Chains A and B, each alone.
Chain A
């Protein structure tokens, strides 16, 4: 690793590192406040057993972790690519005897390390807060009919698993935005498009099966609509299975909500990270300074962009008609509106992809 490039990258990362640490500390404080509130409530309402306290508290802050670190990822990508998007800087960097791969490697490593550091601080903080609260949580286990499931759900291993999936979701989102920067020459345009494309597969599958369901009602379509949740990794941390807990008489007396299909979600997130890095590296190697005027330098991406925008525009019109305006119209007119939406999307995307092509 070239020390000048490493120093340059870490230099731009110092503020985002500070922000990430502040976010982690904020989340630890929030976790602590939630547990303290539960502890305080105990004095008012009395000791209430048969519940997983730590897990419930973590479930309250997990959307915050996801949202805040998504924002951190966006800011991080912005800061990392801010200077390199300048035409003259690109030429300057290209004239240096450093390979594009080296720049890519250093930039990506510093980005991943920053997010990892922030999550390490968050994890350590949450474990410490949990430890500090165990003195009263143990009392709760003591009055529970069956305490083992709650002890397990509140254990460090369970916490690590839940933090782990959020960490991987954030990394897959970050590496995706990182990859998109090598396919878009405009920094903000790349970030905005990246976020939309991140959501697009889920939106396309959900909306298209939903529309088809209006015409042909078969159960396979319902399954496909459900499957669309797999295409939006942000949802991975929130979809939970309820595990019912029975007493000695076979009667349900409590439940624990755990993230379902955690192993598959880990595998998908990891695969996404690897795919994003491989594609990003490929586009980085193929990029040329002379194409810097084009908003999307690669032909294959221009075509995907046009197709994607066309499909999404058509589907967006259908959702507006169905869910927002809610008007009863003839099927043929409905299809015509969808086609019109698609045509407008195609026209706009074509204009965008032509920017900078001489």
Chain B
């Protein structure tokens, strides 16, 4: 279990994270979504024990992560930029890791390398961004971590390797009860593998739920009204986005249920159709709340 309790992180006068509370169950995949600068990387670096917190704490099985080598042994961290020692060859950095992590398995590394295909005699400085990402993924999977923190792990990877990686992650979760915290701009990928997600906005949690709940509660509705309902529609609760195309309204709600249906019928809805919503759309609409919900025509 990972517990992020009332975490706040400042960089000088700039507050990168504020009042962050997340509980991540063992053996689950937790996605972190947010715009650029929302605080995703900072949060992941705090989870990895790289940054200290100004307030609050991060606990793994009840123990603080920062400055705690016992806990860090259980954590694999794949950053968005993976800078290892430039002059090292890949086989040298493998040796380095094997001397650092007690559970590091060279056999696992060789197995992963059959998928990720890196030349072990290449120097780190000769690797492209994507190759460095592959290396970091292989190294951190080979330490057999209990928690794997992945910051944009699919960036720079081609489609085939990307799919292989996601398969490996799911397998590891099922086989070893690995806990994964992952951030990505490719929200459709997160939708496929995550059990829960947290949406960050300007350093604060905007939305937090498990994927099934989101799919149950957040809906996009196509509604046709009898007359002009422009005023009434704004007075409805739990509508996070309104779009009007011709005479058809497209409403996004985060609390779908009978109460909402009844409210819509009361103001004259003649046709209410659930047209489905993707996680990407949820992210877009929840991010739009801050900008005010006028009708987009």
Contacts and interface: CB of A to CB of B under 8 A. Distances in A.
Interface of A: 2-5, 7-8, 83, 86, 88-89, 91-92, 94-99, 288-290, 357-358
A94 B52 CA distance: 11
Nearest to A89: B83
Interface residues of A, dominant DSSP: helix
Nearest to B84: A92
Contact of B100 (A4, A86, A89, A358): A4
B156 to A, nearest CB: 15
Contacts of A289: 50-51
B7 to A, nearest CB: 14
Interface in B47-89: 48-52, 67, 69-70, 72-73, 75, 77, 79, 81-86
B233 to A, nearest CB: 43
B246 interface: no
B160 to A, nearest CB: 27
A4 B50 CA distance: 20
B292 interface: no
B85 A98 contact: no
Contacts of A91: 45, 50, 79, 83
Contacts of A8: 85, 96
B12 interface: yes
B99 A97 contact: no
A92 B72 contact: no
A94 B97 CA distance: 14
Contacts of B101: 97
Contact of A358 (B14, B67, B70, B96): B14
A95 B50 contact: yes
A7 B97 CA distance: 12
Contacts, number: 67
B96 A92 contact: no
B13 interface: yes
Contacts of B67: 99
A7 B14 contact: no
A97 B100 contact: yes
Nearest to A102: B69
B95 interface: yes
A289 B73 CA distance: 19
15 contacts: A2-B100, A4-B98, A5-B99, A8-B85, A8-B96, A92-B79, A94-B50, A95-B75, A97-B72, A99-B67, A288-B51, A289-B50, A289-B51, A290-B11, A358-B12
B197 to A, nearest CB: 24
A290 B79 CA distance: 15
Nearest to A357: B12
Given A7-B96, A89-B85, A95-B72, A358 B11 contact: yes
Contacts of A89: 83-85
B52 A288 contact: yes
Nearest to A99: B69
B260 to A, nearest CB: 44
Contacts of B72: 95-97
Contacts of A95: 48-50, 72, 75, 77, 79
Contacts of B97: 4
A99 B67 CA distance: 7
